[in-house]
Structure 1
Amino acid sequence: MPPRCAHPPGPRRLGGALFVVGALDAVVDVAQNAHGLRVQRLYRRSILNSLHGVWSIGAVLGGLMGSAAAGLRLPLAVHLGISATLFSIVAIVAYRFLLPGPEDAERAAEAQDFAAADGRPAAPPARPGRRWFTGAAVRMLAALGVLAACGALVEDAGASWGALYLTGLHADAATAGLAVVAFQAAMTIGRLSGDRVVNRFGQRTVARAGGVLAAAGMGAALAMPSVPAALAGFTLAGLGFATLVPAAMHAADELPGLPSGTGLTIVSWLLRGGFLLSPLLVGFIADLISLRAGLLSVVLAGVVTIVLARVLVSRTPA
């Protein structure tokens, strides 16, 4: 039984509150990734995947907290009050450890390193009055936004449609729930171990290999529908797309000529657009044909990733 509230809010109040929370979450999300990329510049190697892996762990812990609150029959207001107090304290403590100075303080040194690793000259930082959104920059941002949206589509497929698809294969409720578990566990493992792979092979190679893994795995699972094949397909999709969103964010944040944080912000917006549109796309195809056909969007996302991965950084400097 979920936590109960003595005076549940009306649909408009609830929708308004969720809208505000979502808007604030978008701002915080960009800020967190921007600062994480700044810390990564100091390390001179990839660490962003591990940070996203910790986010995945936090998502699991949040779910467990909600389940515990439901089991203890805590009122909703008490549960949310405890969560708000706890995470506010964590945020205040973490704030003391943020890096001082402007957000682009370490950018010049990292830009030179990545330019040398990619075999191209380093671009000078943006200057006042400079034309920022050139045709090349717009094309790069569009490609990176599509890559981020592909990552969002696959994540939503695992979270929103996995259990329903297994139910259609006559799995019981407990087994059907394993689709989400398999996907999230594989993505978490892929992110926690992804930095080592990215540092060795580069974002471009890892993204292409992940696209192949996800497309082949989910394609085979849909071609031979069964519960074990479906679980394997969602596992390979989670593992294959584990590093794609961090890679797109990093590449967008390093686009030459743009003001600090602009590329990251735009790609983050497009990522959220992918989260909004992907359930509509899969649901429309499922209503029109079948959910099995709708999940072919995961295979398509893998193919698109293979094609567009060229816009990512080829090698990470040591």
Structure 2
Amino acid sequence: MTVDIETRPLPAARHARAAVAVLFFTNGALFANLLPRYPQIKEDLAIGNGAYGLAVAAFPAGAITAGLAAGVLVRRMGSARVAVLGTLLTGAGILAAGLAPSVALFATALFLAGAMDALTDVAQNAHGLRVQRLYGRSILNSFHAIWSIGAVTGGLMAAGAMSLGLSLGVHLAVAAVVLVAAAGAALRFCLPGPENEPAEAGPEQHGTEGAHGTSRVGLVLAALVLIATAGTLVEDAGNSWAALYLSDALHASAALAAWGFIALVGAQFIGRIIGDRLVDRFGQRAVARSGGLITAVGMGLALAVPTLPGTVLGFALAGFGVATLVPAAMHEADALPGLKPGSGLTIVSWLMRLGFLLSPPIVGQVADAAGLRTGLLVIPAAGVLVVLLAGVLRARPRRD
């Protein structure tokens, strides 16, 4: 009888894991279908760089505005339903953005898409963490790796649509229908029931009753936000500045300059593929601390001795080093004692997006004042910050 009880949930857990993988894939692919179309949209709307920059900033602005509502919706509706509903509305927002006849409607549609994307992000991670608890080992990094595959697939879908001469409306409508349908089909395989699993209090987190415990939880949550933000800051540096630094400072051709971003994203994907095994073997704390050290030393040396191969390698090491930071922070925040289900995850996800929004102008201001090489010191600085704060993450569990 005991054997039956232990083995019965396994098929459901495997089905739920596949369903969450589909949710991460569709989330990555949806917005990636729109990004390669931005130049065409800018041209069709006949707007300048300033107006265009403000318009596309509506996406992260929407995410930040709606992000804190995710926890409440997850508790009321369930993480799976929120993720699928968010995917549906994200697809609608992206389609509306592609068809918008004015810059105001374009920005409004992006705001909606960003808001719904934030809800989807929290909900799919919350459900992924539920599945991870059933597995009894780390699997969250693999979901984030699948998100990366989805983003690449979405970009390829857009490239294929443009090569076939499909109109913007037809392309985005087909992409939205296919991806939303896939997310909807995944819903039936998600885990049933409310989001009421008890928090997994670690050895360092027992005995947190009272004002002292509340204060400690707040400090741990703040440290987790900084760890996640460090990961997003490094990722954004690759997105926004890698090609510019390689082309301007190191005089690389456009084709070679693209390799800074490719190296960072590719190494980050590899880090997430193997991240779950590393976490299970060494613990979140050791993996994050080692990753922070790799980021700080790798990119620090690349900036100290600037060469084209060394800098590409530095970006790769940075991407590999931060690969597990966001999943680690989300997992730890979701398990904090004394918080409602989904609250810690929601706060980390929300404030982490502020890093995406604020890091480009900060790096830009430093670059204008002292050069982009100096501005990119934020990458090794982020690695040092992770090394210092990794103690709030879980050590490797003891095995009897």
TM-score w.r.t. the length of structure 2 is: 0.73
The counterpart of 1:156, out of the listed 214, 219, 236, is: 236
Is 1:284 equivalent to 2:376 in the alignment?
no
Q: Distance in 2 between matches of 1:203 and 1:165?
A: 32
Q: Is 1:65 aligned to 2:157, yes or no?
A: yes
Q: Is the 8 A contact 1:145 1:271 kept in 2?
A: yes
Instruction: Give the distance between the partners of 1:72 and 1:175, measured in 2 at CA.
Output: 28
**1:56 and 2:148 aligned:** yes
**Which residue does 1:43 correspond to in 2?**
135
Q: Does residue 298 of the first structure (1) align with residue 379 of the second (2)? A: yes
Does structure 2 conserve the Cα–Cα contact (< 8 Å) formed by 1:38 and 1:104? no
Among 184, 202, 206, the alignment partner of 2:265 is 184
Partner of 1:11: 103
Q: Which residue of 1 aligns with 2:49?
A: none
8 A contact 2:205–2:337 mirrored in 1: no
User: What is the percentage of aligned positions where both structures have the same residue?
Assistant: 54
Q: Could you tell which deviates more after superposition, 72-81 or 87-96?
A: 72-81
Picking from 221, 228, 233, the partner of 1:141 is 221
Query: Residue type matched to 2:306 in 1?
Result: P
Query: Which range moves more in the overlay, 130-139 or 192-201?
Result: 130-139
* Residue in structure 1 matched with residue 349 of structure 2 by the alignment: 268
CA 1:120–1:259: 2 relative to 1, 3 Å: closer
Q: Which amino acid aligns with 1:9?
A: P
C-alpha spacing 1:214/1:84, structure 2 compared with 1 (3 Å): same
| Residue of structure 1 equivalent to 2:59 | none
For the 8 Å contact 1:4–1:74, the answer to whether it is kept is no
The one-letter amino acid paired with 1:209 is S
Amino acid at match of 1:224: V
Shift of the 4–270 alpha-carbon distance from structure 1 to 2, 3 Å rule, reads closer
Structure 2 Cα separation of the partners of residues 284 and 205 of structure 1:
34
Residues 228-277 of structure 1, C-alpha deviation per residue, up to 9 Å, x if partnerless? 01110000000000000000000100111111000000000111011101
- Matched residue SS, 1:134: helix
| Larger relative helix fraction | 2
Indicate if the aligned counterparts of 1:152 and 1:271 stay in contact, CA closer than 8 A. Answer: yes
Query: What is the alpha-carbon distance in structure 2 between the residues aligned to residue 204 and residue 225 of structure 1?
Result: 31
Relative to structure 1, is the Cα distance of residues 132 and 49 closer, same or farther in structure 2, using a 3 angstrom cutoff? Answer: farther
Residue 313 of structure 2 is matched in structure 1 by 232
Which ranges of structure 1 fall in alignment gaps of 5 or more residues?
Answer: 125-129
Corresponding residue number in structure 1 for 2:17: none
Could you tell me how far 1:140 is from its partner in structure 2? 1.3
Distance 1:72 1:37 in 2: 40
Distance 1:228 1:243, change over 3 A: same
TM-score between the two structures when normalised by the length of structure 1:
0.91
Q: Which residue number in structure 2 is paired with residue 307 of structure 1?
A: 388
- 1:120-158: CA deviation from partner (whole Å, max 9, x where unpaired): 64879xxxxx98992212111111111111111001001
Higher mean alpha-carbon deviation, 69-78 vs 90-99, is at 69-78
Rounded to whole Å, the distance in 2 between the matches of 1:121 and 1:276 is 35
Aligned pair partner of 2:169 in 49, 72, 77: 77
Corresponding residue of 2:115:
23
**Residues 142-188 of structure 1: per-residue CA shift (max 9 Å, x gap):** 11111111111001001111111111111111111111111111000
Partners in 2 of 1:183 and 1:48 — Cα distance? 20
